Structure 1
Amino acid sequence: MSHTKRYFEMLGAAYEVPSATDRFDAFLDSAIAYFFESTENGTLAEDVPRHHGTDDMLDTHGARISKLLDEALRREISLEERFHAVLKVSARAGRVTGNAAAAQLTGQGFPCTLDELPLDTAALGEIRKTLRAPAHQAQDRIILANVEAPQIRPCLALIQRPGEADDQVHVSLSYIDWPPALMGRLREAFGLTASESEVLEGYLGDLSQKEIADQRGRALETIKGQFKSILRKTGCARMSDVVQLCASIAFLMRHLPERANRPAAAEWVTPKAGLSLLPRPGRQLAWYRIGNGPRPVLFIHGYLQGPFFTPAFIDRLNEAGLQLVAPSRPGFGYSSPSRSRSDFNETVVADALALVDTLGIERLSLCIHQGGASHGFRIAKALGDRLGAMLLVGGGIPIDETRHLSHMDRQTRFAAIASRHAPSVMKMVMSVGLPVYRKRGARAFLEKQFATAPGDLATLDDSVLFTVQAQGLYHAVEQGGEAWVRDGASAMADWRADFEAVNARQMWLQAQDDPVISAHQVAAYLEGRPNIGCRILPGHGVNILHTAVDAIMAELVKLD
């Protein structure tokens, strides 16, 4: 397929996202196909574009699509807020009325009789029970009801007997979705294992025990045992009670004020704990102090993990008498952007030196994380005699397209090539993708990032590790996608001269299962170089910063 055809297919796919946000993944696939002849081994198309500057036409399309997407998301939220089906059931008149949303959900014309409502028998029985009860004794009930037209849809039903309407029962119906975020909350609330959570999700999806067993490839007796475990952990006598309990939690999560229901890590806001601001000419530099020890180490963060650490890691820093001084690069977190793409690298270095001077640090070591490697070596070169030793955690090396791309996961491969050859494509993907993932949530973004890395994917089940990773994501996109575009281009530039100019003692800790860059390729690049050590740590991946704490701390204390 020609470059021109791939270009217009990508553009067409981008324009489809505002009409249905679930089409973003198809757009991303087309953007990847724009560059690669084969997405399996990272073979670049012979006519791959090499626009080192901006593509004004593509930037214009990207801005237009972003506006369309923002409008579509606002309309979607508005529709979600309006979609609240309410039925009013009168015992005296023997009829049911409903609002437009109720008519849409049930497919029923109003008024009608109670028997004409397409609700399951149990739900109708609960409504009749509430109608028969004296008004002063009627209690609000939340139940799971099935709307059986035109297809069976499980809904939450809130049954109420308003005090001002003795003759009426009000039924509020809300369609239930069991997304990963809600299932995660249920799993956490009940203390379920991952397997039990999947069984519960199947049951909530109206599957029988046999259907769940067949779907999961397990023996029926195994599934029955997991049902018993779910009952024991939830304190329920019957699975129908478990369903009502889950429905109640879902109802609360949907109807309480949104901010009250979200965990702190679910807010797309960069944390401010430990944050300081340093005025710069026409800008500001945001930086974090992690730990309270007397020995400072300059920490140059990667992309997603950012300058955030688990409480246990911070405790270890304090015990070792260390503190990490972590500047946010221009456009990340609360640091002002660089004035242009062309002066991004220069601004990063100038910010770091200004911070070190302001803090009065005469000599310090560096800890450099993943995609911060190119910046770290530029800063190290500029520090000159003030530089101590260096620790690199999952550090990157100058990228060679012919050797390194095939070992990257597809998304990293795309980001690398788009940043190097067509930054406007990268900017469009970011500007279209960020609103989509703000809606889907941080977990969905990280699951996509770790799709080919089972070990990293498993870290999302640890609430502490998930929190710091989500915070790193927010830090990377606090001001939009432009900073990511500039940073990616910097990492993909040829920074071999900066690497060669630094003679400080270095230790590299590389994750064996890192899908971003091959640990063995890094080791091969470093082999034979004086004053450089390298260890490959098995069992670790992209999240090595948070999962290899013992190894990292052992090297941090050695820095001079």
Structure 2
Amino acid sequence: MTKTSDTTSSVIEHLYDVAVDPTSYERLLDFWADMMRLPEGADGQADGVEAALAQLSGHLERADRVLAQSMMAPPDESAASAVGAVHHAATFAINKSGTLISVNAPAALALGITNGARAADLPFEPGEVDRLMAETNRILKGNARATTVMCLRARDTERLIVAHMRLYRPLSDEPFVLCVTSEISWPAGFTAQMQQSFGLSLTEIDLLRHLAEGHSVNDIADLRARSRETVRVQIKSLLAKTGTRSQLELVRLALTTVEALFAADDGFTADALPQSALEPHSFLLKDGRNFDYVIQGDPNGRPVFFLPMDFGFIRLPPAIEAEARRRRLKFIVPIRPGYGRSSPIPAEADYLGRLCNDLLDLLDHLKVQRAPILSMGDDSLIALALYAVAPHRFPALLCCAGTMPISARAQHDRMGKWHRFIHSACVYTPQMLPFVVKAGAAMARRVGKKRFFESIYAGSPADIATFSLPDVRDALISGSDIMLSENFSGHETFARELTAKVVVDWETPLRMMEAAATSGTLKVQFYNGEQDPQIPPKTLAEFAEEYSWISFRTYPDAGQLVFYLKWRDVLTDLEAVV
């Protein structure tokens, strides 16, 4: 950590101290005097102090408002009530064991956590979680009005996240610490309000969000893949359109709008970020069929082969795509045969074998010789089949909500009702499967994909919480148009693929992968939520015992949509293998 970042952190902590406890004002004065008292000739040190103070403008403005709201609730409320009272900032309640016993929607979006997460799941730099837990335990041992403020560094960035911590001792529940952070939730209507009031473009509104979230000009340039000069020009345009004179006034304007919208709407629905255009590319396969694909993240970055589950979730939410771009990751996303405009696999062909050949043709077309595979759901089986055909091309398989072949009746019986129904049709009544899948597509059209997905994940609170995040919901619903829309249904391909995954003999591919993983030439990493309706914890434990060469990372607060909640972990691991 640099001297400048140390100074910035200290200034923020002292100012928060005063906001919470005015009696600490003299301590702030003493600190300020020491900071500004520089020896003669210490020009470099003066530059450091100036740089530290320059980072505070937007950060402190929003932190002050977060604190004001957090202090309104009495300290004897339940965790759910205390957390639910904070609408515009990422907030969670943590107990002495480090379990996040209650989490609000902004925290799910900004921090990638839901109820039941562990402190270790928070996206902070190594060592920061230990500091948070030490402070939590210190507060829990203190008095009923204990409060404190911490500056924590976000993982993989230098950005500060401020946490205001306060002790609660409910009459009927265990004590907990309420943590209100400086991460913002943007209410529904914010985009429309800024467009209507100031004529801002979507690009300018996105820039305004970044400024209010505490990002520097350099951060924003990296996130948006633009030059620093371009970002500065855009900020000048923002200042002119809004009639503000500084970035601090810009942030104040944004936060005032946020508070007004939340006050006017008791529903507290968050606003989705604008999605980038998703234009499929096409090429002809060796047999003359058409094949579509999309590129997301950094078009010139390091390749990642993304297999997005048989629901066709080809679109990355804006936050994930922006981070992939910042990390220079190029997501190659195939639109599988029979979805969208990709020609279906001939009826007489070996489905899984031909699918693997088509996917390898795509990599050849893009001149990609080697790339890790990132899969979702039972596309882990497609990843397994691909590796068996061309092991030299895939150094790693990273499988979110990954599954292995279902080998026991008990594993089938443990599934949630939707997954159990489909799997049962595959295994026991394959002649019914096309009708079952077609009927599901008809239901989704009738009730809408939002209600359809909510029905599928109804037994997983974590998946419902993840799907309710506006950016995630919009990405899944719009991305899956390649599988099902008003004018198209890929139910025939869906049914063929389900059958192929069940009837294939996986023994040889599994032996190949085990040998490679054991020798260190292949990395196989699974990320599984313990609330996954397809692979519940007991089945996952059986997989871990049977396939000891796979590294399993589990999350108590996630389900089958684990990638959309824990994507920070996944992207970090991807960087190590691309």
Q: What is the TM-score of this pair, normalised by structure 2? A: 0.49
Find the counterpart in structure 2 of residue 398 from structure 1.
405
Supply the distance in 1 between the matched residues of 2:278 and 2:425 (Cα, whole angstroms): 34
Question: Which letter does structure 2 place at the counterpart of 1:288?
Answer: V
Deviations 1:45-93 (A, max 9, x none): xxxxxxxxxxxxxxxxxxxxxxxxxxxxxxxxxxxxxxxxxxxxxxxxx
Contact 1:331 1:479 in 2 (8 A): no
Match of 1:233 among 264, 287, 295: 264
Q: Is residue 506–residue 532 contact of structure 1 (8 Å, CA) maintained in 2? A: yes
In 2, are the aligned partners of 1:374 and 1:490 still within 8 Å (CA)? no
**Alignment check: 8 A CA contact 1:306 1:472 kept:** yes
CA contact (8 A) 1:305 1:471 kept: no
C-alpha spacing 1:231/1:471, structure 2 compared with 1 (3 Å) = closer
Does 2:550 align with 1:532?
yes
CA 1:264–1:279 in structure 2 vs 1: closer, same or farther (change >3 Å)?
A: farther
What is the aligned partner in structure 1 of residue 512 from structure 2?
A: 501
**SS of corresponding position for 1:334:** coil
Q: CA deviation at 1:410?
A: 0.9
Q: Point out which structure has higher relative CO (alpha carbons under 8 A, 6+ apart).
A: 1
1:524 to 1:554, Cα distance in 2 relative to 1, 3 A: farther
Q: 1:407 to 1:543 in 2, by over 3 A?
A: same
Q: 1:264 to 1:310 in 2, by over 3 A?
A: closer
Q: Deviations over 1:294-313 (max 9, x none)?
A: 21011122123622211110
**Following TM superposition, by how much is the alpha carbon of 1:531 offset from its aligned partner in structure 2, in angstroms?**
4.9
**Contact 2:345 2:354 (8 Å CA) reproduced:** yes
Q: Give the distance between the partners of 2:325 and 2:189, measured in 1 at CA.
A: 33
Cα distance in 1 between the residues matched to 2:290 and 2:434? 24
Identity in percent: 21
TM-aligned CA distance change 1:307 to 1:232, over 3 Å: closer
Give distance in 1, aligned partners of 2:535 and 2:449: 23
Residues 370 and 394 in structure 1, CA contact (< 8 A), matched pair in contact too? yes
Cα pair distance change 1:495/1:519, threshold 3 Å: farther
Aligned to 1:285: 291
Distance 1:435 1:559, change over 3 A: same
Q: Indicate whether 1:422 and 2:433 are aligned.
A: no
For residues 190 and 294 of structure 1, the distance between their equivalents in structure 2, rounded to whole angstroms, comes to: 32
Aligned-residue RMSD, C-alpha:
3.2
User: Hey, what's the Cα distance between the residues in 2 that align with 1:488 and 1:475?
Assistant: 17
For residue 282 of structure 1, report the CA deviation from its aligned partner. 3.6
Give the letter for the 1:276 counterpart: H
Matched, 1:480 2:511: no
Distance 1:440 1:302 in 2: 22
What TM-score do the two structures reach when normalised by structure 1? 0.50
Aligned partner of 1:513 in structure 2 is 531
Q: Given that residues 422 and 436 in structure 2 are in contact (C-alpha distance below 8 angstroms), is that contact kept between their aligned partners in structure 1?
A: no
In 2, Cα distance between the equivalents of 1:234 and 1:540? 29
The counterpart of 1:541, out of the listed 523, 548, 559, is: 559
1:468 and 2:475 correspond:
yes
Aligned to 2:155: none
State whether residues 337 and 343 of structure 2, in contact with CA within 8 Å, keep that contact through their aligned partners in structure 1: yes
Return the alpha-carbon distance in structure 1 between the equivalents of residues 309 and 447 of structure 2.
23
Q: 1:275 aligns with which of 275, 280, 283?
A: 280
- Taking structure 1 as reference, are residues 341 and 474 closer, same or farther at Cα in structure 2, changes over 3 Å only? farther
| Residue pair 2:527, 2:553 contacting (<8 A) in 1 also | yes
SS of 1:278's partner is strand
Q: Which amino acid aligns with 2:437?
A: M
Asked if 1:306 corresponds to 2:313, the answer is yes
In 1, the alpha carbon distance for the partners of 2:373 and 2:312 equals 17
The yes-or-no answer on 1:556 pairing with 2:574 is yes
- Preserved CA contact (<8 Å) 2:309 2:377: yes
- Residue 532 of structure 1, CA deviation: 2.9
The 8 Å contact of residues 510 and 534 in structure 1, kept in 2 or not, is answered as: yes
Letter of the 1:233 partner, please give it. Answer: A
CA 1:523–1:232 in 2, change beyond 3 Å: closer, same or farther?
A: closer
Amino acid at match of 1:371: D
One-letter amino acid of the counterpart of residue 289, structure 2: R
Q: Which residue of 2 aligns with 1:369?
A: 376
Matches of 1:362 and 1:232, distance apart in 2: 54
1:148-206 CA-partner distances (Å, limit 9, x unpaired):
xxxxxxxxxxxxxxxxxxxxxxxxxxxxxxxxxxxxxxx95699xxxxxxxxxxxxxxx
Q: CA–CA distance in 2 between the matches of 1:264 and 1:485?
A: 34
**Which amino acid in the other structure matches residue 294 of structure 2?**
Y
Letter in 1 for 2:476: Q
Superposed CA offset, 1:114-163 (max 9, x none): xxxxxxxxxxxxxxxxxxxxxxxxxxxxxxxxxxxxxxxxxxxxxxxxxx
CA distance in 2, matches of 1:512, 1:341: 39
Q: Is the 8 A contact 2:383 2:397 kept in 1?
A: no
The CA distance in 2 between the partners of 1:190 and 1:331, in whole Å, is: 39
Decide whether aligned partners of structure 1 residues 529 and 457 sit closer, same or farther in structure 2, where only a CA change above 3 A counts.
Answer: closer
Aligned residue in 1 for 2:327? 320
Distance 1:482 1:430 in 2: 8
User: Would you say the 8 A contact 2:314–2:480 is kept in 1?
Assistant: no
Query: How far apart, CA to CA, are the structure 1 residues paired with 2:262 and 2:381?
Result: 53
1:307 and 1:301 map into 2 onto residues whose CA distance is: 6
Query: 5+ unaligned residues in a row in structure 2: which ranges?
Result: 1-186, 192-259, 267-271, 517-521
Shift of 1:518: 2.3
**Count of residue pairs brought into register by the alignment:** 307
Unaligned runs of 5+ in 1: 1-186, 192-228, 236-262, 266-270
Deviations 1:349-392 (A, max 9, x none): 01111111111122222112212122111111112222212211
Contact 1:274 1:290 in 2 (8 A): no
Letter in 2 for 1:539: D
Q: CA offset at residue 546 of structure 1?
A: 0.8
1:77-226 alignment, distance < 5 Å: none
Tell me the equivalent position of 2:22: none
For 1:135, the equivalent position in structure 2 comes to none
Compared CA separation, residues 345 and 306, structure 1 to 2 (3 A): same
Q: How far 1:556 moved relative to its partner?
A: 1.1
Q: Which residue type is aligned with residue 332 of structure 2? A: V
User: What are the residue-to-residue correspondences of 1:329-348 with 2, within 5 Å?
Assistant: 329-340=336-347, 342-348=349-355
Q: Contact conserved, 2:345 with 2:351, CA < 8 A, in 1? A: yes
Q: Secondary structure at the match of 1:287?
A: strand
Change (3 A) 1:531 1:371: closer
C-alpha separation in 2, matches of 1:461 and 1:275: 27
Secondary structure of the residue that 2:458 maps to in structure 1?
A: coil
Quote the Cα distance in structure 1 between the aligned partners of 2:373 and 2:262: 52
Counterpart amino acid of 1:287?
Y
SS class of match (2:397):
strand
Distance 1:452 1:530, change over 3 A: closer
